[in-house]
Amino acid sequence: MTLVKGEGSRLWDDQGNMYLDFMSGIAVTNLGHAPERVKTRVQQQLDTLWHVSNLFRIPQQEQAAELLAANTCADAVFFCNSGAEANEAAIKLARRYHAKVAQTGRSEIITFEQSFHGRTLATLTATGQDKVKDGFAPLPAGFRYVPFNDIAALKAAVNENTAAIMLEIVQGEGGVLPIKASFAAEVAQLCAANGILLIVDEVQTGMGRTGALFAHEHYGLKPDIFTAAKGLGSGFPVGAMLAQEHLREAFGPGSHGSTFGGNPLAMSAVLGTLETMLEDKAAVRAAEKGTYLLNALRVKLSDVSAVKDIRGIGLLIGIECHEPVSNMIADAQRAGLLFISAGPNVIRLLPNLLVTEEDMDEAVDIIHTVLAKRSAAVTTIS
């Protein structure tokens, strides 16, 4: 399939076929396709200045950082080009803080089984899934993995070399698995009591996706470091690592950098995205629409035997099935609906945050038809 046009919740291919988009470019086009304010800002920037590098002051970068800091617990922002780069920067910052500021010499990062943090060597090593590491040995040292939501296992893994704990609020690639509130609170306490930095990977859950600007807000967490990308630029490649004030000293001039990170074009997209998201209360709307969609799915699919569980938060929703969902994805695509998987057996729904109830109803009807058909086929075979 070759997609050539997008508007709001709709996409068109080069054959003229229209699709309802419940992928959002994998949680990227959170405001829908071609949002007006973002488009206007980028078009205006195209006529003036594209790139100068961070050797010079970039006012748009400062404005974007100020907006992020004003609406989060962060005090400082580092801009880059992707989620993997943002997570890489987070790992580097944690280690450099312990080496240069706290001077503990700690270097180990604890992450979680079924997590996903990126495709660079460091971030795929941080990822708690063996499939992304296949063929890339030797991998960097300094990572340890424990089961998600298992506080006993986490406490047992902490030692005198633990620099940081890195987690996702919802394991998106791992099957749309939300963190337990009790576990989140205990992780925060564990970090505070042992001088361990808390890193939250918000590449997929950030920018309103879960019903808050960042998902850690639901749990009252104030991470030392957290990351963003995907929805940050409405499709323009950009990432960000955000941190609290006590970490600023660890990243002085020359300690880390990015040639393209934070350039005027990228920052124009970020500013347009943030302004729209804040003024239109997109996160609040995502919470409301997520409740509507989750309830509609649970009612409509209640008698579909292929379905094992339906879960999610905001507009990050997973439908766990009793079998692999690859054929269901293909069937839905032929019916005019696009969604993706989260592991082999989970359908992942990621509509834009401004999706209408009419579009959600249409999507639910298609999903029901596809899954009911699959259930009937399995019953017949049995």
* Binding site feature residues for N(2)-acetyl-L-ornithine: 119, 258
Tell me, what DSSP letter sits at residue 52? -
> Encoding tokens for residue 227?
């990351």
Residues forming the annotated binding site? 83-84, 116, 119, 201-204, 258-259
> Encoding tokens for residue 276?
């729209």
Q: For residues 167 and 149, is the Cβ–Cβ distance under 8 A?
A: no
The sign of the dihedral angle between the CA atoms of 204, 365, 345, 330 is: negative
**Quick one: how many helices (H) and strands (E) in the chain?**
11, 17
CA dihedral 134, 206, 70, 49 (to 10 degrees): 70
Distance CA 265, CA 320 (A): 39
Q: Which of 363, 232, 200 is nearest to 293 (CA)?
A: 363
Residues forming the annotated binding site for pyridoxal 5'-phosphate? 83-84, 116, 201-204, 259
Task: Provide CB contacts within 8 A for 118, sequence distance 6+.
Answer: 82, 83, 84, 85, 87, 88, 124, 126, 127, 203
Maximum separation of any 2 CA atoms in the chain, in Å: 67
Q: What are the strands, taking DSSP E only, across the chain?
A: 3-7, 10-13, 18-21, 76-80, 108-112, 143-146, 162-168, 170-171, 177-178, 197-201, 225-228, 239-243, 307-313, 316-321, 337-338, 340-341, 346-349
Distance CA 199, CA 209 (A): 19
Distance CA 197, CA 286 (A): 30
Strand duo 18-21 + 337-338: pairing = parallel
Residue 357 φ then ψ, to 5°: -65, -35
